[in-house]
Amino acid sequence: MKIDIDSTLAAEGGTATRATFLPFHQPTIDADDERAVLETLRSGWLTTGPRTKAFERELAAYTGAAHCVALNSCTAALHLALEAVGVGPGDEVITSPITFASTANVIVHRNARPVFVDVDPETLNIDPQALAHAVTPRTKAIIPVDFAGQPCDLDEVMAIGRQHGLTVIEDAAHAIGAEYKGRRVGSVADMTCFSFYATKNITSGEGGALTTDRADWAERIQVMGLHGISRDAWKRYSAEGYKHWDIVAAGYKYNMFDLQGALVLSQLGKLDTFHARRVALKARLDAGLRDLPELAFPAERPGRKHVYHLYPVIVRTEALTADRDTIMAAIQAENIGIGIHFRAVHLHPFYTETFGFTRGMFPHAEYYSDRTISLPLYPRMTDAEADDVVAAVRKVIARYRR
Ligand SMILES: Cc1ncc(COP(=O)(O)O)c(C=O)c1O
C-alpha cells in the first residue's frame, strides 16, 4: 500500500508543509527606518518633539484632515475621542462586536455603556440598518470599525450620526491608506483613530494617531494626551525656553515620543509600496484558495480602497468534520502562523458578566466569530511563503472535508 506521507497532517505525525515556522506577521523595517531611529537616538531629543510633530503634519496631509494628534496607541486615540465629546456615565456608545478589545473597553473606561449591533455578514463591518435601530436618547457616539482594512459604510453611518446628533469616531486601526468614494480614511468621519502597533500596515512598534477637522477636539486631545497640562507643554525643555504650564484637567500619559515618530514617519513614506505588495499577495492567496467550497471570504464593496490589513477566511465548519480550533491548530502544526480577528467581543466573560450579553444576540457576528482564521499577509512575505500558506490550508481542509 502506497502511503502519501505529505497528506498526513503534521498534527497527526506527518511532515509539516514548511520546515520552519512562518510567523503570522513580521514588520518590514529597512535601512531608512533604522537611520531615522538612530538619528533620533543621537539627536539628544527622545520624547515628543520635532519628529512626532512632523509625523502629525504628514499624516494630516496624507489623510486630508485638518488636524492630527499622534499618540502612543489607537486605544488612547479612541479613549480621548470619547473624552473630547464628553461621553460619560449614563451615555451609550454603539460599536461592532467584531473588533479588538479596546474598541469596547474605552467605552467602559468612560463609564458609559457599550451597545453592540450586528455586522453585515458579508463584509463584517457594522450593519447600518441594525445601527439605526440601536440608537436611543442616551446614545452619544458611534464607533464603526473598518474591519480588516475595508472602510465601513461611512455614508450610511455618517447619515445616522447626523440625523441623531451623534459623533462618529471611526476605528481605522486596520485601515491607514484606505479610501471611501475617493476620500482617504481619516478625512470622512468626525474623528478617525489609527494604530501603528507592531502588526499594522505601518508601525512604530506601539503607536496611534487621531485625525479630525475640528480644532477644538484636536486641542483637547493634545492636552489630555499629555497629563492635561497646557498646550505645547512638550516644548518645555526645548530651545524656546521654559514656560510655566498649568494643569487644566486630569489627563493621561498617552503621548507618542520621537523614536516612535521617527519610525512611523519613515514608514508612512512606504505605505503605498507596502500596499502594492499586499495586493499582489492577496491575489496569490485568492488564486490558491478561492475554489475551496469549505472556505468563505469576506466581500468587498465597490467604491472603496481596501488595504488588506488582514486576510481572514471563514472556515465553513458545516462542510467539515472539525471545528475552527482544530483546523487552526492543524494549520499551525504545518508551521504556518495564524491569527483570530476576532472572537466577538460581547461573548467575552467581562462583557457577558458585566452587561448581560449572551449568545444569540448578534448571529452574524457569532457565526463569523466561531469560524474565522486570519492567514499571514504582509509585504515581506515571499511568493513561495504565500504558496506554503495555500498548501498548508489545502492539506488541512482535505483532511477534514466531509
Ligand atoms: C480594530 C482595532 N481597534 C483598536 C486596536 C487598538 O490598537 P492599539 O494596539 O494601537 O491600541 C486594534 C489593535 O489591534 C484593533 O485591531
pLDDT at residue 161 is higher than 70: yes
CA distance 359 to 350: 14
- CATH number, position 299: 3.90.1150.10
Asked whether residue 25 carries a pLDDT value surpassing 60, the answer given is yes
Q: Are residues 98 and 219 in the same domain?
A: yes
pLDDT band with cut points at 50, 70 and 90 for residue 231: low
Q: In the numeric block, which cell numbers belong to residue 343? A: 472572537
Chain-centroid distance, C-alpha 43: 32
Residue 306 Cα, ligand 1 centroid: separation in angstroms? 17
- In ligand 1, the atom with minimum distance to the C-alpha of 200 is 14
Q: Measuring from each residue's beta carbon to the nearest atom of ligand 1, which residues come in under 6 Å?
A: 73-75, 99-100, 102-103, 145, 171, 173-174, 195, 197, 208
Lowest mean pLDDT among 1-5, 45-49, 98-102, 123-127: 1-5
Ligand 1 atom closest to the CA of 73, numbered from 1: 10
Are 242 and 373 in the same domain?
Answer: no
Centre of ligand 1 to C-alpha 204, Å, is: 13
pLDDT of the residue at 235: 79
pLDDT value at residue 318: 97
Among candidate residues 235, 268, 301, the one where a domain is terminated: 268
Q: Which residues pair with 208 in a beta bridge?
A: 71, 195
Tell whether 146 and 14 lie within a shared domain: no
The answer to whether residues 186 and 72 belong to one domain is yes
Backbone angles phi and psi of 116, in degrees to 5:
-90, 150
Does position 3 have pLDDT exceeding 60, yes or no? no
Q: What is the mean pLDDT of residues 96-121?
A: 98
pLDDT at 1: 41
Please identify, among 214, 246, 268, the residue that sits at the C-terminal boundary of a domain.
268
Residues 161 and 120 in one domain: yes
Instruction: Output the pTM of the full model.
Output: 0.97
Q: Relative to the CA of 195, which ligand 1 atom is closest?
A: 10
> For residue 282, what are the domain limits?
5-26+271-400
Local structure of 326: helix, strand or coil: helix
Residues 241 and 358 in one domain: no
Q: What pLDDT, on a 0 to 100 scale, did the predictor assign at position 99?
A: 98
Residue 366 has pLDDT above 60, yes or no: yes
pLDDT at 242 over 60: yes
Mutate to test the pocket of ligand 1, among 75, 194, 200, 343 (most ligand atoms within 8 A of CB): 75
Query: Taking 70 as the threshold, does the pLDDT of residue 2 lie above it?
Result: no
Whose alpha carbon is nearest atom 14 of ligand 1?
A: 100
Indicate if the pLDDT at residue 22 is higher than 80. Answer: yes
CA distance 127 to 98: 11
Give tens-digit pLDDT for 374-384: 999 999 999 99
Cα separations (Å) of 41 from 29, 253, 343?
A: 17, 21, 39
Whether 354 and 232 share a structural domain: no
> What average pLDDT score do residues 176-204 get?
98
Regarding whether 229 and 215 lie in a shared domain, the answer is yes
Please tell me whether residues 57 and 145 are part of one structural domain.
yes
Same domain flag for 339 and 204? no
**How many domains are there within the chain?**
2
Q: Each residue of 322-348: pLDDT tens digit? A: 999 999 999 999 999 999 999 999 999
Same domain, 205 and 340: no
Strand 311-315 relative to strand 304-305, pairing: unpaired
Q: Which residue among 107, 195, 254 is best mutated to probe the pocket of ligand 1, counting the most ligand atoms within 8 A of its Cβ?
A: 195
pLDDT of 4 > 90? The answer is no
Residue that finishes a domain, picked among 268, 303, 327? 268
- Digit-coded pLDDT (tens) for 66-97: 999 999 999 999 999 999 999 999 999 999 99
**Secondary structure (DSSP) of 338-366:** -B-----GGGSHHHHHHH---TTSSHHHH
- Ligand 1 center to 402 CA (angstroms): 36
Average pLDDT over residues 91-118: 98
CATH number at residue 251: 3.40.640.10
Q: Which atom of ligand 1 is nearest to the CA of 341?
A: 16
Distance 15 CA to ligand 1 centre (A): 36
Position 295 scores a pLDDT of: 98
pLDDT surpassing 90 at residue 241: no
Q: What mean pLDDT comes out for the span 225-236?
A: 84
Cβ neighbours of residue 230 under 8 Å, at least 6 residues apart? 223, 245, 246, 248
pLDDT digits (tens, 9 = 90+) for 250-304: 999 999 999 999 999 999 999 999 999 999 999 999 999 999 999 999 999 999 9
Pair (21, 74) in one structural domain: no
**Average of pLDDT values for 199-213?**
98
Active-site residues, by number, are 200
Which of 78, 96, 102 should be mutated for ligand 1, with most atoms under 8 A from CB?
102
- Name residue 329's amino acid: A
